[in-house]
Copies of this chain bind each other. A is one copy, B any other.
Amino acid sequence: MSRIGIFDSGVGGLTVQRAILEALPSVDTVYLGDTARVPYGTKSADTVTQYSLRNARVLARHGIDLLVVACNTASAVALPALRAELAVPVLGVVEPGARAAARASRGGRIGVIGTQGTISSGAYQAALRAARPDAEVVARACPLFVPLAEEGWTDPDDPVVRGAVARYLAPLHDARIDTLVLGCTHYPLLRAAIARELPEVALVDSADAIAAEVRARIGEENGREGAHAFLVTDTPERFLAVAGLFLGRTVTSAEHVDV
């Protein structure tokens, strides 16, 4: 049975794990949430790369066959360093998400939203242009979306949510994009509010895209339900309080690790 290591800056990557488990219910997983250093999206590429390497070293000691970088910001800046150091394959969410958007787009007018770090890196923009050279790409950082999602303020009728979503998405609306990549693990929680602001636009979730890629690599594995372990760098209580919401199944224990 394959064992997949997954890391993220915090709990958001559990939405990626959820998509992977829907595609491959029998794989084993070890998830590391760097909850003591979250968020990554506001920090420099150097710092995010150092944190990513430390996370990957912990997961490598758990005998993983494949490493999935669930965090968009880490995927955008740290893949070369991770691939140089690790003996197992390393997959990030940026390229699968960009390829899915390139396929989904009718007219090639593609938007991408993410953290400051993800958007500043230009990684999605480059991956979209590589996957579809005729694409017109409009990128926008939406720093308030993560705190809104973590606060549970996601109702499309909430005037605070509506106001923030409208303000960030205005340039994408004006550019008449036909497809939008939700380039952060938290953004699917705001999908309804985003869809209301951009009703004609196809929304692409990188979690689904990477799950399809993991399935293509590992292949279907029949057998028992997979076993899942959770590691966190801050104390486990807050992680456990919200993990079920992101993963869509109960998480009863998580181990504290120093990285």
- How near does chain B come to A2, taking the closest CB pair, in angstroms? 33
- Give which listed residue, B44, B160, B163, B235, contacts A238 with CB less than 8 A: B44
CA–CA, A111 and B138, complex, Å: 44
- Give which listed residue, B44, B144, B146, B233, contacts A235 with CB less than 8 A: B44
Of residues 224 through 246 on chain A, the ones whose CB sits less than 8 Å from some CB of chain B are 233-235, 237-238
- How near does chain B come to A234, taking the closest CB pair, in angstroms? 5
Neighbouring B residues of A42 by C-beta, 8 Å: 38, 238
- Cβ-based interface call for A17 (8 A): no
- Give which listed residue, B44, B233, B234, contacts A237 with CB less than 8 A: B44
Neighbouring B residues of A217 by C-beta, 8 Å: none
- Cβ-based interface call for A151 (8 A): yes
- How near does chain B come to A144, taking the closest CB pair, in angstroms? 5
- Cβ-based interface call for A159 (8 A): yes
Neighbouring B residues of A163 by C-beta, 8 Å: 158-160, 163
- Cβ-based interface call for A250 (8 A): no
Name the residue on B nearest A158 (C-beta).
Answer: B163
- Cβ-based interface call for A150 (8 A): yes
Contact of B44 with A234 in the complex, beta carbons under 8 Å = yes
Name the residue on B nearest A148 (C-beta).
Answer: B144
- Cβ-based interface call for A147 (8 A): yes
CA–CA, A38 and B9, complex, Å: 13
Of residues 160 through 214 on chain A, the ones whose CB sits less than 8 Å from some CB of chain B are 160, 163-164, 167
- Cβ-based interface call for A259 (8 A): no
Add 7 more A-B contacts to A36-B47, A144-B151 (CB < 8 A). Answer: A42-B238, A44-B237, A47-B233, A143-B151, A144-B147, A144-B148, A160-B163
In order of increasing CB-CB distance, the 3 nearest A-B pairs are A160-B163, A44-B235, A147-B147
